[in-house]
Structure 1
């Protein structure tokens, strides 16, 4: 078996069949699809089992609630040389039917493709400055986690995952995929970027990262501190980790913190005074964050919290328009 596709499935009756069929499991006997139902209360279980009866390479499994639990179950039972992760409302793409040829011949430990968000292409191939240097790649991943540090859109060697005893942290509610990816790439000797789009991500208002959660700050802090621990033995990534902290901070603000905007400016000020954020803001030079995308961080760095809050609120409005 060449490829195991692992799909966590939770209350996804409207999209799960599309996701399964996007893997081309019906067309390629080298593909198996492991669909892990993690606590669904709709017709998800029924639909997966109906599909599995049509093809022995569609595997139905169950886990406790949570994407990490589901992915870990998939890793445990995967039979193929390579694995990839697919969310239930997204689609796997096979440009020019070249995926099988690519995976058969690949000598690398990780293969990273371009992907599509709604109708926009994210061209990681062109964005990546040095494609043959793992240290440079990891730095760029840390400094731009929203583009690079998704667990999907990549192919992993199952032997390397098992050799490193890697699993998704079941203690993390946010950024668990980024944390897993960091530990994986630290084990890689070779990473390959390809020009083709291999994943179609659906931007959804039901996404976990777009729902307000009063525990969000605490959960993100747990993830950031875990990544810091993962990188403790790698001083070469210290500055890039500061970028990672600030990029995660931006994500928190736009997708959670300012979704409910009452009295947030004073709380933003308090958050910026936390050690891990204050240290990152102080360490990053102005020229490295003086871009439109990072402008709120400039205001936070110089304690102009009202200005930062205003931009974050505007970006929440813009994001809401994109998903309508």
Structure 2
């Protein structure tokens, strides 16, 4: 078997069949699809089992609630050379002869592909400097987590995952993708980027990160501290980790603090005073004022919290417009 596609499935009756079919499992006998139902209460289970009856390479499994639990169950059952992850409301693209031949012959430990977000193309291959330099790649990923540090859109060596016991931490609710990916990539000897667009991410208002969660900041902090522990032995990534922290801070602002807007500036100021944030803000300087993603952080560093809040409010509005 060449490729195991792992799909966590929770209350996704409207999209799960399309997701399964997008893998190419009906066209290629070298693909197995492991669909893990993790507590669905709609018709998801019935639909998966119907597809599994049509094709022996579609495997139905169950896990406890939580995406991490589902992905870990999928890893346990994976039997192919490569593993990739697919969310139930997204699709795989272009599993053609060229991609099949690449997976057969590739000696790298990780293959990173381009992807689409709704109708927008994200070309990781063209935006990545020194693609053959593992340290440089990890730094760029840490500094651009929203683009790079998704678990999907990549192919992982099954043997490496299993032999090194790399699993998703089910105690993490947010950024579990980033944390898993960091631990995996630190084990990689070689990484390959391909120009192929193989993943279609559907940006939706129903996405977990777009729903208000009063615990979101606490959950992000847990993930940040776990990534820090993962990188403790690698001082070469210290600056990049601080940028990663600030990018997560931006997400906290947009997906929590300024979503409800009650006492938002006060919460912003309080977070900036936390040690792990204040230490990260030290790397920001006035020259970053013309970099859009760093601009509010410049304001935060120099205690211009009202200016920062205006930007975060505008980003909340823009995010709401971008969801379908």
How high is the TM-score relative to the length of structure 2? 0.98
Give the CA deviation at 1:224: 0.1
Shift of 1:260: 0.8
> 2:284–2:298: 8 Å Cα contact kept in structure 1?
no
Structure 1 pair 289–171 and aligned structure 2 pair: CA distance change class (3 A) = farther
Name the residue aligned to 1:217: 217
After superposition, the CA RMSD in angstroms is: 1.0
Tell me the equivalent position of 1:38.
Answer: 38
Match of 1:151 in 2: 151
Equivalent position of 1:9 in the other structure: 9
CA displacement 1:141-174 (0-9 Å, x = unmatched) = 0000000000000000011111211100011000
Who is 1:294 aligned against? 294
Change (3 A) 1:95 1:56: closer
In structure 2, the partner of 1:73 is 73
SS, match of residue 116 in structure 1:
strand
Q: How does 1:119-130 map to 2 (within 5 A)?
A: 119-130=119-130
8 Å contact from structure 1 (residues 3, 81) kept in 2 = yes
Cα offset for 1:65? 0.3
Q: Is the 8 A contact 1:205 1:323 kept in 2?
A: yes
Tell which deviates more after alignment, 90-99 or 165-174: 90-99
Partner of 2:135: 135
Compare 36-45 and 258-267 and name the one that shifted more. 258-267
Residue number in structure 2 paired with 1:229: 229
Q: Shift of residue 286 of structure 1?
A: 3.5
Please give the alpha-carbon distance, in whole angstroms, between the structure 2 residues aligned to 1:322 and 1:133.
Answer: 34
Correspondence for 2:197: 197
Q: Superposed, which structure 2 residues align to 1:1-324 within 5 Å?
A: 1-94=1-94, 96-288=96-288, 290-324=290-324
Per the alignment, in what secondary structure is the counterpart of residue 6 of structure 1? strand
Matched length: 324
What are the Cα deviations for residues 191-246 of structure 1, in whole angstroms up to 9, with x where unaligned?
00001101000000010111111111111000000000000000000010000000
Cα distance in 2, alignment partners of residues 246 and 79 from structure 1: 38
CA contact (8 A) 2:13 2:44 kept: yes
Deviation at 1:295, TM superposition (A): 1.1
Deviations 1:14-44 (A, max 9, x none): 0000000000000000000000000000000
Indicate if the aligned counterparts of 2:24 and 2:95 stay in contact, CA closer than 8 A: no
Cα distance in 2 for residues equivalent to 1:97 and 1:278? 50
8 Å CA contact retained: 1:95, 1:196: no
8 Å contact from structure 2 (residues 132, 190) kept in 1: yes
Name the SS for the 1:205 alignment partner.
coil
Deviation digits for residues 257-298 of structure 1 (CA, Å, limit 9, x no counterpart): 211112200110001100000100013334356412321111
Aligned residues of 1:242 and 1:284 also touching (Cα < 8 A): no
Distance across 2 between alignment mates of 1:61 and 1:289: 49
SS in 2 for 1:204: coil
Distance 2:13 2:111 in 1: 30
Q: Return 68-77 or 97-106, whichever deviates more.
A: 97-106
Task: Give 3-state SS (helix, strand or coil) of 2:146's partner.
Answer: helix
Counterpart Cα distance in 2 of 1:289 and 1:244: 18
Range with greater deviation from structure 2 (108-117 or 97-106): 97-106
TM-score (norm 1): 0.98
